[in-house]
Amino acid sequence: MPEPRTWQLAAGSAALGLALAAGAVAAAGPWDSGQRKAERARAVSADSRGGAHHAGAPAQAAPRRPAPAPSAAGVLRALGATGHAGGITRSGDDLAAVLVPLLADPGLGPLRTASVVDTATGRPLYGEGASTPMTPASTVKIATAAAALSALGPDHRIPTTTVASPDHRTLTLVGGGDPTLDRTRLKALADATARALRGPGATPPAPVRLGYDTSLFKGPLLHPIGPNENLAPVSALMTAEGRLDGSRHGPAPRTGDPAGDTATAFAALLQDAGITVQGPPRPARAPQAAPLARTESAPLADLVEHTLTHSDNDLAEALARQTALARRQPASFAGAEKAVHDELARLGLPLAGARFADGSGLDRRDRVSATLLTGILTRAADPARPALRPVLTGLPVGGFSGTLAGRFGSGPAAPGAGLVRAKTGTLTGVNTLAGTVVTADGRLLAFAFLAARTSSPDTAQPALDRLTAALAPPR
């Protein structure tokens, strides 16, 4: 069995784990249980680049295949031979003795890897094929979020602006890559633009022609999975993630032209604000000039938390492109891939075999190892890296919020409920879970479990939940 890869971190205090446990049940809003089903059934394509179930095709393109079934040999023992190790309470037990049988659950399919790390020391406690690259599905959003926070900082906001020509006869709406722009903020931008066009006097401004600029993002608009209810065309200008049903997360009907729809709505709002708009909005490049008005997204820390809690694919792709812009790469799938990889390398993370073909995890070409995921979570728990903390605080809470609201059972006796915080990942034949849990003695553990060629999420997800619940304190 490959040994888990070790890295060094400054030792932290166990109080960090206790503090995270105290905040584990923060409210995160309702969850549409259809999103997991949608990632399974809708996020698909006919070739290996999408989310299809490839019967008979190789599920992994990894340099080393994980063992078909784990064994106890070679597994690192938990700290100490007695006392508590997570939910393990019997004297002399170790993590291997408890996790190996759970990892062998047939529901996890023939290919599975695992990593458990003590975040205070960076010490691996358990590993099975931990350095083997696997398809992560939506757990890749942990990497996307960490890279964005590292490159931009938690206070960064994404702007949407308006720019006028020197004679104020042409107005351009400029997309900054904020998929969370909504009608309320779009109206505020229209009102502020109208005030700027009027200037200090009360004379009505001349009619304007409206253009819209989406040039910030490069490359194809469509994800390799093609038109899909899990992801709108990736445009620098859109409103409400291109959703057509008023929903805020989960799968939804999407517009095929998010930028054009946003510009059309903006033109109507300008009219309501007293500005005559001549003709329909047209694609355009904004002149080099100071913005007339601007609206900004919530801070990046909030965007990251929403991305992770609700597995928001549109926002994840936007964060990947913001990382690309910060690192002077093209804001495209390819540019974001390089930027995310390079940013994680700056954090000293193990990237052998890693691939970030997209920011959301819908692309089956993505590859991460369990060691990489626990490494990111460990960096986020490091007291010396507070900018990365939203990676932890955004994780869904087992049995309570986001994509884990319907998992780990319910009630005070449910194993892991309220104690496990983790990012889910689901594609056809791929089921993953990575996050944190605080042990009975106050240690914060990071874990990652990745399974491939699973037959059904109905059996794989409960098996993953049992693995993670075994790390939590007993009820």
CA 186 – CA 143 distance, rounded (Å): 30
Whether residue 45 lies in the annotated active site:
no
Q: Which two tokens stand for residue 466?
A: 């049992």
| Nearest residue to 475 via CA among 403, 423, 416 | 416
Provide the 3-class DSSP secondary structure of residue 331: strand
SS3 content of the chain, % helix, strand, coil (to 5): 30, 15, 50
CA 110 – CA 67 distance, rounded (Å): 8
Contact 440, 18 (CB under 8 A): no
Q: Which two tokens stand for residue 145?
A: 């979020």
Q: Which helix (H) or strand (E) holds 464?
A: helix 457-469
Q: Which two tokens stand for residue 456?
A: 């059904």
List b or e across 26-59, with b for residues whose CB sees 16 or more CB atoms inside 10 angstroms.
eebeebbeebbebbbebbbbeeebbbbebeeeeb
Contacts for 380 with CB less than 8 Å, ≥ 6 apart = 146, 388, 389, 391, 392
Whether residue 311 lies in the annotated active site:
yes
Contact 471, 412 (CB under 8 A): no
List 115, 131, 138, 150, catalytic entry: 138
Q: Which two tokens stand for residue 79?
A: 């700290």
44, 58, 135, 368, 415 from 47: Cα distances, Å? 9, 12, 15, 20, 39
Provide the 3-class DSSP secondary structure of residue 200: coil
- Please give the DSSP secondary-structure letter assigned to residue 277: B
Question: What is the pairing mode between strands 282-283 and 420-427?
Answer: unpaired
Longest dimension (CA), the chain: 84
CA 384 to chain centroid, in Å, comes to: 23
Rg (CA), the chain: 24
Question: What is the pairing mode between strands 282-283 and 209-213?
Answer: parallel
List 115, 131, 141, 369, catalytic entry: 141
CA atoms within 13 A on the CB side of 118: 23
Provide the 3-class DSSP secondary structure of residue 267: helix
Contact 391, 146 (CB under 8 A): yes
CA 254 to chain centroid, in Å, comes to: 20
Whether residue 455 lies in the annotated active site:
no
List 150, 235, 297, 311, catalytic entry: 311
CA 292 – CA 440 distance, rounded (Å): 56
Contact 428, 40 (CB under 8 A): yes
Active site residues: 138, 141, 311
